[in-house]
């Protein structure tokens, strides 16, 4: 047995297998194997059952080599990533009008220039993000650009604000969708939290199936929305140009005095409210690696398409609202007023309404595409736990998806799926991210000085200024209504991320010391050559088969292994020694009398003593471990092991080896 | 370094110490050491703090050798063990009268013959227990005699009934004591549960200080009770004999018709109610090892003394109650009526009242002396977890004391410290124990046939019969009022004890197989000679100092140690191999490609493959373990170790070794 091992390189021995069809490892070179799909084949009934459940819920595992097939085409990507952004055309105009009307109906006409100004801002931000995507094709968006140009600490600010905003995106859009359902079917109102959480669970599951499949699953509603909403705006504008006299049917737009004066601040507030339309631009930059190659190019093209659609929808909606003399009402949205003005009460009206409701819910899906990829980028940078970089069975970043699903469900439960409570918490984070990412780009241009860098720099500086102002206004106006809560959450998250980063850096410092010097490995660390003895101690409590096997194992580690028995009665010690010398004559026994009945402390003293005789060497403590069939049986065994492990945990250079003994009953 | 070990017997090397005053182990012979008190000296600030707290609360540790000094003298033992028993003289007569009065005041005179009958029963039971104590001086009472004569299964019935009864004794007597306090100070009524639990905590702490000290702490009230109660009865009887015409002051004893006929069943019920006076006899038999040597003799003498005091108190109380024409009343106990008849309203009356209240509470202390010793006897027999056999710092069976304190506190909270809810649960178990212990003694006599065995056998058979009838009556009459609950608890406890016994027996069977054949220990178990190589595998995830030290350790175990790296990308595997061969040229690396990104399954397949090439040998898997300073840092490391340990847990002959690497930040 022993001789066959000598001289061969163990890793190269052919792995013998029971049956050819069940081969688990395939030899692919010297010391190199490839695992087959067989390694995943469960061996127990429970294992098979859970594997089948996984296959039904999220599908069969996909090999890493097939990753390229799992990417998104521009067509699907537009559906996945634009949902959040385009859904804002459903409410951005209304948000502007709701602020302006405070200064009277006469001021509503200011909405058109404001909409154009926001479109300009969007153009600046999108241009800057196109540059950003090309400069950071690995994904991570604002986080990546900030990390490289403004340092890790600043990038953690971005990470925490974006995480909170993504979680809130899921919560807000789900709550809005559920609100649409419960206003149609009020009897479901009491179950709204359950319905909202069920929606999130559905999105989580869909995204665990992999980005391509979730893209297919959730692609149709965005395109129905684009077609019907675009159609509505087109028909409306054409009819206006043809001179049809269209007005909102339900209201007459009399000149009314407002409660506030039309100040610059009010105009700025209206601008900030409408600027919520910009949320969702970040998601594409975060999710670049989800695109088919060439990733950066495809992402930029999708980004530009999305911006054009959003811009035209937003401006179109605003023009039509002004031309139709629409004023915001409590019981009817601006979009539904436009739709009914253009289409009357026909089926097209309902198509616009239903597809608008669906895009509002699917805005959550964009967050599921953005956050997990961002988290994976951060995990690779070791500012998040490494688990977030792991791709699951379907190549999706499962841990990020699960955490997002759980966190947004928690938010929904906490705020009772109430949009009015949730909306004030939202949108601050993304403007902080915009501001910082443009600041990062400013540094980027100063650093690289590529052609036309001055123009780009100026553009980004302007973008930074404007988004910064919006961030301040959004934060200030929403602060008391709830933004303080999301800001606090961002603060806490920042501390968590910072601590993780710090710990990984510390670990790295400690683990990397003198790495290049280590060649003669066993000698360097333990001062002994390979396979030579070191201190091996076996604490024994009784003589049985498990103990004997443990002692046997200790002997294979070292011929100098020594057993130690602690007793509180001298007679018991003598009796044990007689029994021991009869059973195991080749392993010396030390008996330690413990007059105060303590067990761990005398053992520790003995181990310390042994250690002192051979300083620097490793001390190995070998213990039997009774592996039991039932959980409660554990309380009946291994007390010494549990306590000794705890006591030895802080001792340097001490290794505890538990030799398992399987009890079948 | 290595040479100094060769040839010497490691256990015999002198243990070198840093400073002479801090010697922890003293060499007392070849391979034999004695731990000094220094091993208990805490090294950390927290350790010193908790040690000081322990010293204040329960006192400094006592050496096992001083065990003899910690035993109880007969004087203290009578106080500790008689509290429960003597406290029944406070209520047993009343219990009889409360049943008899159902048949009218005329039938109250039957209480005297019933009291004599109970005294006879007590005499039989005590005689039998004196024999029992001599036959089983190791303690355990009814349990021990049943186990030897009627088998383990039957003895577990006794164990479970006695445990439940002891717990209920503590709960009932504490609740009764608190009821006495709250009837004096009604404003404390709402805090009665807290007060009761505080009493139990006090008793627990007192008993953790060791039996001798708890004996001293709680010895005075029982003797005050004996003196005052005995004095009251003596004065009363003398005055009756002298012809004083004494009658209960508050009531006239008119002949009243009862609601029930005076049937034999009613008389039996009265007898059973009064028989509650016998509880507490068992405790002495359980606690024999707590007596000073000669244990059995001292315990028997104490038992006889206790029985004589109880008998005279009980008969005396019953005679006086009858002679004084006392009828049980709702607002005044029979004892207080006797006391006020004998002493009037003077200070002696209050001494009787207060000492009676105190003995009622201290009945709980008897259970603290009984249950832990019984549990320790059962743990030594391996029908209870071995932890119960362990003597704490003060030689008390700490675990039994703590469990009794916790369980009775739970019962008090559950039943809101309400005696009316608790009393029906109680007293059934002890009569089952009496019956079974006498049955056990019957078998004992038949087996041993010592002189006069036929007479003893007849006595025990009679005792068995009578206590059996009482058990049935107590069980039947109290069943619906709550005894079903305690019986269910006994049933559950029986199943638990039986399962523990079964598991320890199973373990023993599995661990003891072929024990006498094992001599050539390493060869027998692993087919290799001492200190020779076996399969050692080191799964690695990266190259850092911790990993390198782990590999170095693996090399000290075996020159054939092999490292294995799992990757989901071939390029990453090649890059790692290059890095590895540069850092650790003397340890071969196997790279396993895992196309489905699974980590554990390919490792398991590799380990299985290695195992198949060397069947029967141990497989050692060596992993680095990052020991962190903060609990939450754990989530950032060791994921592979945690998952691999879980996966390898069920593999036979596979040993996982974690080499700790201490991260300081």
Bridge partners (DSSP) of residue B72 are B291
Nearest-angstrom CA–CA distance, B293 and B175: 35
* pLDDT exceeds cutoff 70 at A332: yes
Give me the residues of B, 554-573, that contact A with CB < 8 A: 555-562, 564, 566, 568-569, 573
Q: Does position A430 have pLDDT exceeding 80, yes or no?
A: yes
| B125: DSSP letter | H
> Is residue B653 pLDDT above 70, yes or no?
yes
Write A24-31 long-range contacts (CB < 8 A, 24+).
A24/B601, A24/B602, A24/B605, A24/B608, A24/B609, A25/B592, A25/B602, A25/B605, A25/B606, A25/B609, A28/B593, A31/B577, A31/B588, A31/B589, A31/B590, A31/B591
Residue with tokens 């737009």: A253
Max mean pLDDT range (A163-172, A353-362, B512-521): A163-172
What integer pLDDT is reported at residue A150 of this predicted model? Answer: 92
Distance CA B565, CA B550 (A): 14
Considering only A16-25, A123-132, A315-324, which range has the smallest mean pLDDT? A16-25
Nearest CB neighbour to A659, from listed B558, B655, B659: B655
Distance from CA of A63 to the nearest CA of B (A): 5
Of A148-157, A171-180, B327-336, minimum mean pLDDT range: B327-336
The answer to whether B539 touches B514, Cβ cutoff 8 Å, is: no
Which of B17, B35, B514 should be substituted to probe chain A, the one whose Cβ sees the most A Cβ atoms within 10 Å?
Answer: B35
Q: Whose structure tokens read 């970089």?
A: A389
CA distance B372 to B139: 11
pLDDT band at residue B548 using 50, 70 and 90 as cut-offs: confident
User: CA-CA distance, A498 to A492, in Å (whole number)?
Assistant: 10
Put simply, whether A45 touches B (Cβ < 8 Å) is no
pLDDT, position A12: 40
DSSP H helices, B12-137, are 45-58, 74-87, 92-100, 111-135
As a whole number, mean pLDDT of residues A210-225 equals 87
Q: Kindly tell me if the per-residue pLDDT of A515 is higher than 90.
A: no
Token pair 């294979």 is found at A556
CA distance B24 to B16: 10
Give yes or no for residue B123 having a pLDDT over 60.
yes
CA B455 to chain centre: 36
**Is the CB of residue B475 less than 8 Å away from at least one CB of chain A?**
no
Entry field: residues in chain A:
665
Are A602 and B504 in contact (CB < 8 Å)?
A: no
Query: Token pair for residue A140?
Result: 């991570």
Task: Output DSSP code: residue B71.
Answer: S
Q: Which of residues 153-172 of A touch B (CB under 8 A)?
A: none
Whether residues A608 and B635 touch (CB distance < 8 A) is answered with no
**Separation of alpha carbons A170 and A406, rounded Å:** 11
pLDDT tens sequence across B232-253? 999 999 998 988 877 765 555 5
Please say if the pLDDT value at position A18 is more than 70. Answer: no
**Whole-angstrom Cα distance, residue B221 to residue B206?**
15
A573 CB neighbours in chain B (<8 A) are 32
Q: What's the whole-number mean pLDDT along residues B282-302?
A: 91
Q: Helix, strand, or coil here: A113?
A: helix
pLDDT, position A11: 41
Average pLDDT over residues A480-506: 90
* pLDDT tens column, A439-481: 999 999 999 898 889 998 998 999 899 899 888 888 888 788 7
- For chain B, positions 483-522, list CB contacts with chain A under 8 A: 500, 503-504, 506-508, 510-515, 518-522
**Which stretch of DSSP H or E encloses residue A27?**
strand A25-29
Report the sign of the C-alpha dihedral through residues A181, A183, A186, A191, in that order. positive
Tell me what pLDDT residue B353 has: 86
Least confident of A91-95, B192-196, B399-403: A91-95
Instruction: State the smallest CA–CA distance between residue A50 and chain B in angstroms.
Output: 16
Which is it for the CA torsion A324, A325, A326, A329, positive or negative? negative
Which of B340, B278, B354, B349 has its CA nearest to residue B314? B278
Closest CA to B253 of B96, B97, B90: B97
Which whole number is the average pLDDT over B197-207? 93
The H or E element spanning position A25 is strand A25-29
**Six-digit token string for B562:** 């092999």
Whole-Å CA distances, B493 to B158, B163, B529, B550: 11, 9, 48, 47
SS3 label, residue B72:
strand
Contact assignment for B34 to A593 by CB distance below 8 Å: yes
Interface A:B, Cβ pairs < 8 A: 409
| Averaged pLDDT of chain B | 85
Residue B656, φ and ψ in degrees, nearest 5: -100, 125
Q: What is the pLDDT of residues A32-90, one digit of tens each?
A: 888 888 878 887 888 888 888 888 888 888 887 787 788 889 999 999 999 998 988 88
Q: At residue A490, does pLDDT exceed 80?
A: yes
3-state secondary structure of A451: coil
Give pLDDT, residue A7. Answer: 34
Q: Which of B544, B609, B664 sits opposite A16 (nearest CB)?
A: B609
The 8-class DSSP code of residue A15 comes to: P
Note the residue count of chain B. Answer: 665
The C-alpha atoms of residue A218 and residue A211 are separated, in whole angstroms, by 10
Q: Which residues pair with B605 in a beta bridge?
A: none
A69 vs B638: CA distance, rounded Å? 33
In angstroms, what CA-CA distances link A283 with A126, A288, A289?
A: 12, 9, 12
- Cα A314 to Cα A260: distance, rounded to the nearest angstrom: 26
Whole-angstrom Cα distance, residue A525 to residue B257?
A: 96
Residue B249 confidence (pLDDT): 58
- Dump pLDDT digits (tens) for B576-628: 999 888 888 888 999 998 888 888 888 888 888 887 777 667 889 999 988 88
Sequence-ordered list of residues with C-beta below 8 angstroms from that of B97, at least 6 positions apart, any chain: B108, B111, B321, B326, B327, B328, B334
Beta-bridge partners for B590 = B564
pLDDT at A484 over 50: yes
Q: Rounded to an integer, what distance in angstroms lies between the CA atom of residue A489 and that of residue A168? A: 11
pLDDT at A20: 53
Burial (CB count within 10 angstroms: exposed 0-12, middle 13-18, buried 19+), residue A77: buried
Angle at A435 between CA A433 and CA A437, to 5 degrees: 65
> If DSSP codes are grouped into helix, strand and coil, which group holds residue B499?
helix
> Which chain B residues touch A657 with a CB distance below 8 Å?
655, 657
Tokens of B143: 């349990």
- What is the C-alpha to C-alpha distance for residues B170 and B186, in angstroms, rounded to an integer? 23
> For chain A, what is the mean pLDDT?
85
Grade residue A627 by pLDDT with cuts at 50, 70 and 90: confident
Rounded to the nearest 5°, which phi and psi values hold at A608? -60, -45
A546 touches chain B (CB under 8 A): yes
DSSP A552-570: HHHHHH-TT-EEEEEES-H
Based on the number of CB atoms within 10 Å of its own CB, is B482 exposed (0-12), middle (13-18) or buried (19 or more)? Answer: middle
Question: Per the structure block, which two tokens stand in for B401?
Answer: 């004391």
Give CA angle at B304 (B131, B269), nearest 5°: 90
Residue B462: which H helix or E strand, with range? helix B453-478
pLDDT, residue A549, reads 85
Nearest C-alpha neighbor of A286 from the set A392, A170, A146, A391: A146
Q: DSSP string of A311-350? A: HHHHHHHHHHHHHTT----SSS-HHHHHHHHHHTTSHHHH
Distance from CA of A645 to the nearest CA of B (A): 11
Number of neighbours of residue A157 by Cβ within 10 angstroms: 23
Asked whether the predicted pLDDT for residue B164 surpasses 80, the reply is yes
Q: How far is the C-alpha of A584 from the C-alpha of B172, rounded, in Å?
A: 54
Q: Which of A660, A662, A659 is nearest to A538 (CA)?
A: A659
CB B322: neighbour CB atoms within 10 A?
A: 17
For A183-212, write each residue's pLDDT tens digit. Answer: 777 888 889 999 999 999 999 999 998 888
Instruction: Give the model's pLDDT for residue B518.
Output: 46
Whole-angstrom CA distances from A249 to A337, A346, A347, B270, B657 are 8, 15, 18, 94, 79
pLDDT band at A521 (very low <50, low <70, confident <90, very high): low
Share of chain B above pLDDT 90, in %: 32
Task: Give the model's pLDDT for residue A487.
Answer: 92
Q: Which of B435-444, B560-569, B603-612 has the highest mean pLDDT?
A: B435-444
Q: Which residues does chain B have within 8 Å of residue A560's beta carbon, measured at their own beta carbons?
A: 5, 10
Separation between Cα atoms, residue A422 and residue A417, nearest integer Å: 8
Cβ proximity of A124 and A459 under 8 Å: yes
DSSP annotation string for A486-527: HHHHHHHHHHHHHHHHHHHHHHHHHHHTTGGG--SHHHHHHS
Residue B170 near residue B197 (C-beta atoms within 8 A): no
Q: What is the pLDDT of residue A10?
A: 41
3-class secondary-structure state, position A592: strand
> Which of residues A494 and B62 earns the better pLDDT score?
A494
Query: Percent of chain A scored above 70 by pLDDT?
Result: 92
List of chain A residues whose C-beta atoms are within 8 Å of the C-beta of residue B33: 590-593, 602, 606
């Amino acid at each position: 047995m022993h001789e066959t091992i000598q001289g061969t390189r163990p890793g190269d021995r052919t792995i013998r297998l029971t049956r050819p069809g069940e081969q688990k490892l395939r030899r692919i070179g010297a010391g190199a194997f490839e695992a087959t799909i067989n390694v995943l084949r469960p061996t127990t009934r429970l294992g098979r059952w859970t594997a089948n459940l996984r296959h039904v819920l999220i599908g069969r595992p996909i090999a890493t080599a097939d990753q390229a097939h799992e990417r998104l085409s521009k067509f699907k990507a537009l559906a996945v990533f634009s949902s959040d952004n385009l859904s804002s055309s459903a409410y951005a105009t209304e948000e502007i009008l709701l602020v302006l009307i405070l200064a009277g109906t006469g001021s509503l006409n200011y909405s058109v220039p404001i909409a154009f100004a926001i479109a300009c801002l969007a153009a600046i931000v999108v241009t800057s993000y196109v540059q950003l995507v090309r400069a950071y094709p690995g994904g991570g968006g604002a986080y990546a650009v900030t990390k490289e140009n403004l340092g890790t600490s600043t990038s953690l600010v971005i990470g925490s604000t974006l995480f909170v905003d993504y979680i809130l995106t899921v919560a807000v859009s789900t709550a809005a969708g559920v609100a649409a359902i419960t206003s149609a079917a009020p009897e479901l109102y009491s179950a709204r939290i359950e319905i909202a959480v069920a929606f999130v669970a559905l999105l989580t599951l869909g995204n665990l199936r992999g980005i391509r499949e979730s893209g297919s699953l959730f692609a149709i509603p965005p395109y129905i929305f684009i077609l019907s909403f675009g159609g509505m705006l087109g028909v409306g504008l054409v009819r206006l140009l043809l001179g049809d006299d269209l007005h909102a049917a339900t209201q007459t737009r009399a000149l009314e005095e407002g409660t506030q004066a039309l100040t610059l601040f009010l105009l700025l507030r209206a601008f900030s409210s409408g600027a919520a339309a910009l949320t969702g631009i970040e998601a594409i930059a975060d999710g670049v690696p989800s695109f088919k190659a060439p990733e950066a190019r495809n992402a930029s093209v999708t980004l530009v398409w999305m911006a054009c659609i959003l811009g035209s929808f937003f401006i179109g909606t605003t023009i039509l609202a002004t031309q139709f003399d629409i004023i915001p009402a409590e019981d009817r949205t601006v979009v539904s007023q436009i739709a009914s003005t253009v289409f009357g009460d026909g089926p097209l009206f309902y198509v616009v309404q239903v597809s608008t409701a669906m895009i509002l819910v699917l805005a959550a899906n964009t967050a599921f595409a953005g956050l997990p990829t961002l988290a994976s980028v951060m995990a690779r940078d070791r500012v998040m736990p490494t688990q977030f970089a792991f791709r699951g069975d379907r190549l999706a970043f499962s841990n990020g998806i699960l955490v997002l699903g759980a966190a947004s469900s928690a938010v929904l439960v906490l705020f009772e799926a109430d949009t009015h409570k949730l909306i004030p918490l939202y949108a601050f984070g993304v403007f902080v991210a915009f501001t910082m990412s443009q600041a990062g780009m400013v540094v980027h241009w100063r650093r690289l000085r590529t052609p036309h860098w001055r123009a780009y720099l100026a553009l980004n500086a302007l973008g930074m200024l404007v988004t910064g102002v919006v961030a301040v206004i959004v934060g200030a106006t929403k602060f008391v209504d709830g933004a303080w809560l999301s800001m606090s959450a961002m603060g806490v998250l920042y501390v968590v991320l910072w601590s993780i980063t710090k710990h990984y850096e510390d670990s790295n410092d400690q683990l990397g010391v003198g790495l290049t010097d280590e060649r003669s490995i066993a000698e360097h660390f333990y001062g002994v050559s390979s396979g030579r003895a070191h201190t091996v101690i076996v604490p024994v409590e009784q003589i049985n088969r498990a103990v004997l096997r443990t002692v046997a194992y200790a002997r294979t580690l070292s011929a100098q292994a020594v057993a130690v028995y602690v007793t509180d009665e001298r007679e018991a010690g003598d009796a044990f020694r007689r029994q021991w010398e009869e059973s195991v004559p080749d392993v010396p026994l030390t008996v330690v009398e413990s007059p105060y009945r303590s067990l761990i402390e005398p053992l520790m003293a003995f181990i310390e003593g042994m250690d002192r005789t051979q300083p620097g060497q490793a001390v190995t403590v070998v213990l039997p471990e009774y592996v039991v069939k039932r959980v409660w049986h554990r309380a009946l065994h291994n007390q010494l092991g549990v306590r000794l492990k705890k006591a030895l945990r802080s001792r340097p250079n001490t290794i505890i080896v538990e030799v398992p003994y399987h009890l079948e009953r």
